[in-house]
Structure 1
Protein backbone atom coordinates (compact mmCIF):
# COMPACT_ATOMS: atom_id res chain seq x y z
CA UNK A 1 0.00 0.00 0.00
CA UNK A 2 1.52 3.31 -1.05
CA UNK A 3 1.83 6.02 1.59
CA UNK A 4 0.95 8.58 -1.07
CA UNK A 5 -2.67 8.55 0.10
CA UNK A 6 -1.49 10.10 3.38
CA UNK A 7 -2.65 13.73 3.55
CA UNK A 8 0.85 14.75 4.63
CA UNK A 9 2.23 13.41 1.39
CA UNK A 10 0.50 15.83 -0.95
CA UNK A 11 2.67 17.62 -3.49
CA UNK A 12 3.07 21.40 -3.60
CA UNK A 13 4.23 22.57 -7.02
CA UNK A 14 6.29 25.76 -6.80
CA UNK A 15 5.57 26.89 -10.35
CA UNK A 16 3.16 29.01 -12.37
CA UNK A 17 4.05 27.06 -15.53
CA UNK A 18 0.95 25.49 -17.13
CA UNK A 19 3.23 22.83 -18.63
CA UNK A 20 4.56 21.76 -15.23
CA UNK A 21 1.04 21.84 -13.78
CA UNK A 22 -0.17 19.47 -16.52
CA UNK A 23 2.75 17.13 -15.86
CA UNK A 24 2.27 17.04 -12.08
CA UNK A 25 -1.34 15.93 -12.69
CA UNK A 26 0.00 12.91 -14.56
CA UNK A 27 1.40 11.48 -11.30
CA UNK A 28 -2.11 10.98 -9.94
CA UNK A 29 -1.19 12.31 -6.48
CA UNK A 30 -2.97 15.10 -4.60
CA UNK A 31 -1.31 18.44 -5.29
CA UNK A 32 -1.69 22.20 -4.94
CA UNK A 33 0.03 25.07 -6.71
CA UNK A 34 2.00 27.75 -4.87
CA UNK A 35 3.85 30.23 -7.06
CA UNK A 36 7.27 31.47 -5.95
CA UNK A 37 8.61 34.77 -7.25
CA UNK A 38 12.16 33.62 -6.56
CA UNK A 39 15.02 35.79 -7.76
CA UNK A 40 16.62 33.85 -10.62
CA UNK A 41 19.92 35.75 -10.68
CA UNK A 42 23.04 33.86 -9.65
CA UNK A 43 26.40 35.47 -8.94
CA UNK A 44 29.71 34.19 -10.25
CA UNK A 45 30.65 31.38 -12.61
CA UNK A 46 28.33 28.41 -12.33
CA UNK A 47 27.76 25.32 -14.45
CA UNK A 48 24.33 24.68 -16.01
CA UNK A 49 23.75 21.68 -13.73
CA UNK A 50 24.61 23.76 -10.64
CA UNK A 51 22.41 26.60 -11.87
CA UNK A 52 19.24 24.55 -12.36
CA UNK A 53 19.75 22.79 -9.02
CA UNK A 54 20.37 26.05 -7.12
CA UNK A 55 17.30 27.70 -8.66
CA UNK A 56 15.10 24.64 -8.10
CA UNK A 57 16.00 24.62 -4.40
CA UNK A 58 15.52 28.41 -4.21
CA UNK A 59 12.03 28.23 -5.73
CA UNK A 60 10.92 25.41 -3.43
CA UNK A 61 12.50 27.05 -0.35
CA UNK A 62 10.72 30.33 -1.04
CA UNK A 63 7.38 28.56 -1.19
CA UNK A 64 8.14 26.82 2.12
CA UNK A 65 8.75 30.26 3.71
CA UNK A 66 5.45 31.53 2.29
CA UNK A 67 3.34 28.70 3.73
CA UNK A 68 1.36 29.36 6.87
CA UNK A 69 2.17 27.09 9.84
CA UNK A 70 -0.99 25.00 9.36
CA UNK A 71 -0.14 24.54 5.66
CA UNK A 72 3.33 23.12 6.28
CA UNK A 73 2.73 19.55 5.25
CA UNK A 74 3.54 17.86 1.99
CA UNK A 75 6.46 17.84 -0.42
CA UNK A 76 7.31 21.08 -2.22
CA UNK A 77 8.62 20.62 -5.76
CA UNK A 78 10.75 23.28 -7.41
CA UNK A 79 12.07 23.00 -10.95
CA UNK A 80 14.16 25.09 -13.32
CA UNK A 81 15.08 24.60 -16.97
CA UNK A 82 17.79 26.13 -19.16
CA UNK A 83 19.00 25.57 -22.70
CA UNK A 84 22.75 25.39 -23.27
CA UNK A 85 24.48 25.85 -26.62
CA UNK A 86 28.26 26.05 -27.00
CA UNK A 87 28.63 26.77 -23.27
CA UNK A 88 26.17 29.68 -23.40
CA UNK A 89 23.18 29.39 -21.07
CA UNK A 90 20.01 30.48 -22.85
CA UNK A 91 17.16 31.43 -20.56
CA UNK A 92 13.88 33.09 -21.53
CA UNK A 93 14.19 35.68 -24.31
CA UNK A 94 13.96 39.33 -23.25
CA UNK A 95 12.20 40.30 -26.50
CA UNK A 96 11.54 39.10 -30.06
CA UNK A 97 15.03 40.08 -31.24
CA UNK A 98 16.53 37.97 -28.47
CA UNK A 99 14.25 35.05 -29.43
CA UNK A 100 15.39 35.42 -33.05
CA UNK A 101 19.06 35.40 -31.97
CA UNK A 102 18.58 32.21 -29.95
CA UNK A 103 16.60 30.35 -32.60
CA UNK A 104 19.04 31.42 -35.32
CA UNK A 105 21.96 30.03 -33.31
CA UNK A 106 20.18 26.76 -32.39
CA UNK A 107 18.83 25.89 -35.84
CA UNK A 108 20.57 23.04 -37.64
CA UNK A 109 22.54 21.99 -34.56
CA UNK A 110 22.35 20.07 -31.28
CA UNK A 111 22.01 21.73 -27.88
CA UNK A 112 21.43 20.55 -24.31
CA UNK A 113 18.45 21.14 -22.06
CA UNK A 114 19.05 20.95 -18.30
CA UNK A 115 16.15 20.63 -15.86
CA UNK A 116 16.77 20.72 -12.14
CA UNK A 117 14.32 19.36 -9.63
CA UNK A 118 14.21 19.86 -5.86
CA UNK A 119 11.88 18.26 -3.31
CA UNK A 120 11.57 19.78 0.15
CA UNK A 121 9.53 18.38 3.04
CA UNK A 122 7.38 21.35 4.07
CA UNK A 123 7.26 20.22 7.70
CA UNK A 124 10.97 19.74 8.46
CA UNK A 125 12.94 21.19 5.53
CA UNK A 126 14.57 17.90 4.52
CA UNK A 127 15.43 18.17 0.84
CA UNK A 128 16.82 16.30 -2.12
CA UNK A 129 17.88 17.81 -5.43
CA UNK A 130 19.01 16.50 -8.80
CA UNK A 131 18.92 17.33 -12.51
CA UNK A 132 18.73 15.67 -15.89
CA UNK A 133 20.08 16.56 -19.32
CA UNK A 134 18.60 15.91 -22.77
CA UNK A 135 20.22 16.58 -26.16
CA UNK A 136 17.96 18.26 -28.71
CA UNK A 137 18.71 18.59 -32.43
CA UNK A 138 16.87 21.38 -34.20
CA UNK A 139 16.06 21.44 -37.92
CA UNK A 140 17.75 23.95 -40.20
CA UNK A 141 15.28 26.84 -40.65
CA UNK A 142 14.94 29.80 -42.95
CA UNK A 143 14.71 33.31 -41.49
CA UNK A 144 11.06 33.39 -42.60
CA UNK A 145 10.32 30.20 -40.64
CA UNK A 146 12.00 31.57 -37.52
CA UNK A 147 10.03 34.81 -37.78
CA UNK A 148 6.74 32.94 -38.31
CA UNK A 149 7.46 30.83 -35.24
CA UNK A 150 8.19 33.93 -33.15
CA UNK A 151 4.93 35.46 -34.46
CA UNK A 152 2.97 32.58 -32.84
CA UNK A 153 3.99 34.00 -29.46
CA UNK A 154 5.09 30.57 -28.24
CA UNK A 155 8.81 31.42 -27.72
CA UNK A 156 8.03 34.35 -25.42
CA UNK A 157 8.48 32.79 -21.96
CA UNK A 158 10.39 29.65 -22.89
CA UNK A 159 14.03 28.84 -22.15
CA UNK A 160 15.86 28.79 -25.47
CA UNK A 161 12.82 30.44 -27.13
CA UNK A 162 10.94 27.27 -28.07
CA UNK A 163 8.40 24.82 -26.65
CA UNK A 164 8.85 21.19 -27.68
CA UNK A 165 5.29 20.36 -26.60
CA UNK A 166 3.74 23.08 -28.79
CA UNK A 167 4.16 23.99 -32.45
CA UNK A 168 7.88 24.03 -31.59
CA UNK A 169 7.68 20.24 -32.02
CA UNK A 170 7.80 20.90 -35.77
CA UNK A 171 11.27 22.46 -35.56
CA UNK A 172 12.83 19.67 -33.49
CA UNK A 173 14.51 16.95 -35.52
CA UNK A 174 15.60 14.56 -32.75
CA UNK A 175 16.03 14.24 -29.01
CA UNK A 176 18.33 12.00 -26.98
CA UNK A 177 17.26 11.63 -23.38
CA UNK A 178 14.12 12.34 -21.35
CA UNK A 179 11.45 14.29 -23.29
CA UNK A 180 9.99 15.70 -20.05
CA UNK A 181 13.33 17.28 -19.19
CA UNK A 182 12.80 19.46 -22.26
CA UNK A 183 9.21 20.28 -21.28
CA UNK A 184 10.49 21.35 -17.86
CA UNK A 185 9.65 18.68 -15.27
CA UNK A 186 11.52 15.35 -15.56
CA UNK A 187 8.88 12.99 -14.20
CA UNK A 188 11.11 9.92 -14.05
CA UNK A 189 13.69 11.81 -11.97
CA UNK A 190 10.92 13.28 -9.80
CA UNK A 191 9.45 9.84 -9.06
CA UNK A 192 12.93 8.67 -7.96
CA UNK A 193 13.38 11.70 -5.66
CA UNK A 194 9.95 11.23 -4.07
CA UNK A 195 11.06 7.79 -2.82
CA UNK A 196 13.22 9.65 -0.28
CA UNK A 197 9.93 10.78 1.31
CA UNK A 198 8.29 7.34 1.08
CA UNK A 199 6.07 8.43 -1.79
CA UNK A 200 5.70 5.76 -4.45
CA UNK A 201 4.18 6.92 -7.71
CA UNK A 202 3.78 3.31 -8.82
Structure 2
Protein backbone atom coordinates (compact mmCIF):
# COMPACT_ATOMS: atom_id res chain seq x y z
CA UNK A 1 0.00 0.00 0.00
CA UNK A 2 1.31 3.47 -0.91
CA UNK A 3 2.28 5.69 2.00
CA UNK A 4 0.08 8.76 2.51
CA UNK A 5 1.51 12.23 2.10
CA UNK A 6 3.17 13.35 5.29
CA UNK A 7 2.66 17.02 6.12
CA UNK A 8 4.76 18.68 8.81
CA UNK A 9 2.69 21.48 10.35
CA UNK A 10 5.72 23.46 11.49
CA UNK A 11 8.22 25.99 10.22
CA UNK A 12 10.84 24.90 12.77
CA UNK A 13 14.13 24.01 11.05
CA UNK A 14 14.97 21.77 14.01
CA UNK A 15 11.80 19.69 13.57
CA UNK A 16 12.45 19.41 9.83
CA UNK A 17 15.99 18.23 10.51
CA UNK A 18 14.89 15.65 13.06
CA UNK A 19 12.04 14.33 10.93
CA UNK A 20 14.37 13.95 7.94
CA UNK A 21 16.43 11.44 9.96
CA UNK A 22 13.42 9.09 9.97
CA UNK A 23 13.70 8.71 6.20
CA UNK A 24 10.12 9.83 5.63
CA UNK A 25 9.54 12.20 2.74
CA UNK A 26 7.44 15.12 3.92
CA UNK A 27 6.07 18.50 2.96
CA UNK A 28 5.92 21.68 5.03
CA UNK A 29 2.62 23.43 5.74
CA UNK A 30 2.93 25.37 9.01
CA UNK A 31 -0.02 26.07 11.25
CA UNK A 32 -0.50 29.65 12.41
CA UNK A 33 -2.28 29.66 15.76
CA UNK A 34 -2.36 31.62 18.99
CA UNK A 35 0.03 29.71 21.23
CA UNK A 36 -0.77 31.40 24.53
CA UNK A 37 -1.55 29.00 27.38
CA UNK A 38 -5.01 29.10 28.91
CA UNK A 39 -5.30 30.42 32.49
CA UNK A 40 -4.07 27.75 34.88
CA UNK A 41 -3.39 25.25 32.08
CA UNK A 42 -0.89 22.56 33.16
CA UNK A 43 2.14 22.14 30.85
CA UNK A 44 1.23 18.65 29.57
CA UNK A 45 -2.33 19.71 28.74
CA UNK A 46 -1.03 22.87 27.10
CA UNK A 47 1.33 21.15 24.65
CA UNK A 48 -1.18 18.38 23.88
CA UNK A 49 -3.88 20.94 23.15
CA UNK A 50 -1.65 23.01 20.88
CA UNK A 51 -0.26 20.02 18.98
CA UNK A 52 -3.79 18.74 18.39
CA UNK A 53 -5.06 22.16 17.30
CA UNK A 54 -2.17 22.57 14.87
CA UNK A 55 -2.79 19.13 13.36
CA UNK A 56 -6.52 19.78 12.91
CA UNK A 57 -5.97 23.27 11.51
CA UNK A 58 -3.67 21.99 8.77
CA UNK A 59 -5.65 18.79 8.13
CA UNK A 60 -8.68 20.71 6.84
CA UNK A 61 -6.54 21.87 3.91
CA UNK A 62 -6.21 18.24 2.77
CA UNK A 63 -9.78 17.02 3.28
CA UNK A 64 -10.49 13.93 1.20
CA UNK A 65 -6.81 13.23 0.53
CA UNK A 66 -4.68 10.31 1.76
CA UNK A 67 -2.54 12.51 3.97
CA UNK A 68 -1.20 12.48 7.52
CA UNK A 69 -0.44 15.74 9.33
CA UNK A 70 2.30 15.80 11.94
CA UNK A 71 2.26 18.60 14.51
CA UNK A 72 4.28 19.12 17.68
CA UNK A 73 4.58 21.62 20.46
CA UNK A 74 7.33 22.06 23.03
CA UNK A 75 7.42 24.06 26.22
CA UNK A 76 9.71 24.48 29.19
CA UNK A 77 8.21 24.33 32.67
CA UNK A 78 9.73 25.26 35.99
CA UNK A 79 7.42 23.73 38.55
CA UNK A 80 3.95 24.71 37.38
CA UNK A 81 5.16 27.78 35.47
CA UNK A 82 5.28 27.61 31.67
CA UNK A 83 8.27 29.41 30.13
CA UNK A 84 7.62 30.29 26.52
CA UNK A 85 9.83 32.07 24.02
CA UNK A 86 11.39 35.22 25.46
CA UNK A 87 10.08 38.49 24.07
CA UNK A 88 13.38 40.35 24.56
CA UNK A 89 16.85 40.15 26.05
CA UNK A 90 15.63 40.99 29.54
CA UNK A 91 13.16 38.13 29.52
CA UNK A 92 15.75 35.71 28.10
CA UNK A 93 18.19 36.76 30.82
CA UNK A 94 15.58 36.24 33.55
CA UNK A 95 14.67 32.77 32.24
CA UNK A 96 18.27 31.62 31.98
CA UNK A 97 19.07 32.85 35.49
CA UNK A 98 15.95 31.14 36.82
CA UNK A 99 16.90 27.78 35.30
CA UNK A 100 20.63 27.94 36.13
CA UNK A 101 21.95 25.12 38.30
CA UNK A 102 18.53 23.47 38.64
CA UNK A 103 16.45 20.75 37.01
CA UNK A 104 13.31 21.69 35.09
CA UNK A 105 10.96 19.87 32.75
CA UNK A 106 10.54 20.00 28.98
CA UNK A 107 7.21 18.85 27.56
CA UNK A 108 6.89 17.95 23.89
CA UNK A 109 3.58 16.75 22.50
CA UNK A 110 3.26 15.02 19.13
CA UNK A 111 0.02 14.76 17.16
CA UNK A 112 -0.65 12.74 14.00
CA UNK A 113 -3.87 13.39 12.11
CA UNK A 114 -4.95 10.81 9.53
CA UNK A 115 -6.96 13.07 7.24
CA UNK A 116 -8.65 10.28 5.27
CA UNK A 117 -9.95 8.54 8.42
CA UNK A 118 -10.39 11.75 10.47
CA UNK A 119 -8.34 10.06 13.21
CA UNK A 120 -6.12 12.00 15.61
CA UNK A 121 -3.55 10.23 17.82
CA UNK A 122 -1.30 12.00 20.33
CA UNK A 123 1.58 11.39 22.71
CA UNK A 124 3.64 13.50 25.09
CA UNK A 125 7.27 13.22 26.18
CA UNK A 126 8.25 14.72 29.54
CA UNK A 127 12.00 15.18 30.07
CA UNK A 128 13.83 16.23 33.22
CA UNK A 129 16.61 18.61 32.23
CA UNK A 130 19.47 19.53 34.62
CA UNK A 131 21.18 22.83 33.86
CA UNK A 132 24.79 23.64 34.68
CA UNK A 133 25.99 26.64 36.70
CA UNK A 134 26.79 28.87 33.72
CA UNK A 135 27.96 32.40 34.50
CA UNK A 136 26.28 35.75 33.91
CA UNK A 137 28.95 36.46 31.29
CA UNK A 138 28.03 33.27 29.45
CA UNK A 139 24.37 34.29 29.53
CA UNK A 140 25.20 37.66 27.99
CA UNK A 141 27.33 36.09 25.26
CA UNK A 142 24.55 33.62 24.47
CA UNK A 143 21.93 36.38 24.30
CA UNK A 144 24.17 38.33 21.92
CA UNK A 145 24.20 35.30 19.60
CA UNK A 146 20.43 35.72 19.11
CA UNK A 147 19.82 32.02 19.69
CA UNK A 148 17.49 32.24 22.72
CA UNK A 149 14.71 34.22 21.10
CA UNK A 150 12.88 31.50 19.16
CA UNK A 151 13.16 28.84 21.86
CA UNK A 152 10.99 28.01 24.84
CA UNK A 153 12.91 28.66 28.02
CA UNK A 154 15.43 30.79 26.09
CA UNK A 155 17.91 28.00 25.34
CA UNK A 156 18.82 25.23 22.91
CA UNK A 157 20.16 22.02 24.40
CA UNK A 158 22.24 21.44 21.27
CA UNK A 159 23.96 24.87 21.13
CA UNK A 160 27.63 24.09 20.45
CA UNK A 161 29.13 26.86 22.61
CA UNK A 162 26.67 27.58 25.40
CA UNK A 163 25.93 23.89 26.20
CA UNK A 164 23.57 24.70 29.07
CA UNK A 165 22.61 21.12 30.02
CA UNK A 166 24.68 18.61 32.03
CA UNK A 167 24.22 14.93 32.90
CA UNK A 168 21.10 14.58 30.79
CA UNK A 169 19.60 11.09 30.57
CA UNK A 170 16.41 11.52 28.57
CA UNK A 171 15.24 12.08 24.99
CA UNK A 172 17.62 14.65 23.50
CA UNK A 173 15.48 14.99 20.37
CA UNK A 174 12.41 15.83 22.44
CA UNK A 175 14.14 18.78 24.07
CA UNK A 176 15.04 19.92 20.55
CA UNK A 177 11.38 19.71 19.56
CA UNK A 178 10.49 16.26 18.16
CA UNK A 179 10.89 12.98 20.11
CA UNK A 180 11.51 10.54 17.29
CA UNK A 181 10.93 7.28 19.18
CA UNK A 182 7.67 8.65 20.55
CA UNK A 183 6.79 9.58 16.98
CA UNK A 184 7.60 6.08 15.75
CA UNK A 185 5.39 4.37 18.34
CA UNK A 186 2.61 6.87 17.64
CA UNK A 187 2.87 6.29 13.89
CA UNK A 188 2.50 2.55 14.48
CA UNK A 189 -1.05 3.24 15.67
CA UNK A 190 -1.76 4.51 12.15
CA UNK A 191 0.09 1.52 10.61
CA UNK A 192 2.96 3.73 9.46
CA UNK A 193 6.58 2.56 9.63
CA UNK A 194 9.57 4.88 9.11
CA UNK A 195 11.98 3.89 6.33
CA UNK A 196 15.03 4.32 8.57
CA UNK A 197 16.09 2.74 11.87
CA UNK A 198 14.97 5.75 13.90
CA UNK A 199 16.85 5.11 17.19
CA UNK A 200 20.10 4.45 15.36
CA UNK A 201 19.74 7.46 13.06
CA UNK A 202 18.81 9.77 15.92
CA UNK A 203 21.69 8.72 18.15
CA UNK A 204 24.18 8.78 15.28
CA UNK A 205 23.23 12.29 14.19
CA UNK A 206 23.07 13.68 17.71
CA UNK A 207 26.19 11.79 18.83
CA UNK A 208 24.22 10.82 21.92
CA UNK A 209 23.86 7.34 23.40
CA UNK A 210 20.19 7.47 24.37
CA UNK A 211 19.50 5.35 27.47
CA UNK A 212 15.70 5.25 27.05
CA UNK A 213 14.95 4.53 23.38
CA UNK A 214 14.07 0.88 23.91
CA UNK A 215 11.81 1.71 26.85
CA UNK A 216 9.99 4.30 24.73
CA UNK A 217 9.41 1.85 21.89
CA UNK A 218 8.20 -0.68 24.46
CA UNK A 219 5.49 1.77 25.43
CA UNK A 220 6.88 3.00 28.75
CA UNK A 221 6.14 6.51 29.99
CA UNK A 222 9.69 7.81 29.98
CA UNK A 223 11.20 10.90 28.46
Q: TM-score, structure 1 length as denominator?
A: 0.91
Take 2:46 and 2:158, find their aligned partners in 1: how far apart are those partners?
Answer: 23
Take 2:122 and 2:114, find their aligned partners in 1: how far apart are those partners?
Answer: 12
Kept in 2, the 8 Å contact 1:162–1:168? The answer is no
Q: Does 1:26 align with 2:21?
A: yes
2:131 to 138, 143, 146: 138
2:42 to 43, 47, 59: 47
- Measured on the aligned residues, the alpha-carbon RMSD in Å equals 1.5
Paired residues for 1:101-180 under 5 Å: 101-167=94-160, 170-180=163-173
Take 1:135 and 1:7, find their aligned partners in 2: how far apart are those partners?
Answer: 35
Q: TM-score, structure 2 length as denominator?
A: 0.83
Kept in 2, the 8 Å contact 1:134–1:175? The answer is no
Shift of 1:176: 2.7
Secondary structure class of the residue paired with 1:176: coil
Shift of 1:120: 0.3
Q: Does 1:61 align with 2:56?
A: yes
Take 1:100 and 1:167, find their aligned partners in 2: how far apart are those partners?
Answer: 19
Using a 3 Å threshold, how does the CA distance of structure 1 residues 168 and 56 change in structure 2: closer, same or farther? farther
Shift of 1:198: 0.8
Paired residues for 1:78-117 under 5 Å: 78-117=71-110
Take 2:81 and 2:173, find their aligned partners in 1: how far apart are those partners?
Answer: 22
How many residue pairs match? The answer is 195
Corresponding residue of 2:221? none
Take 1:96 and 1:200, find their aligned partners in 2: how far apart are those partners?
Answer: 42
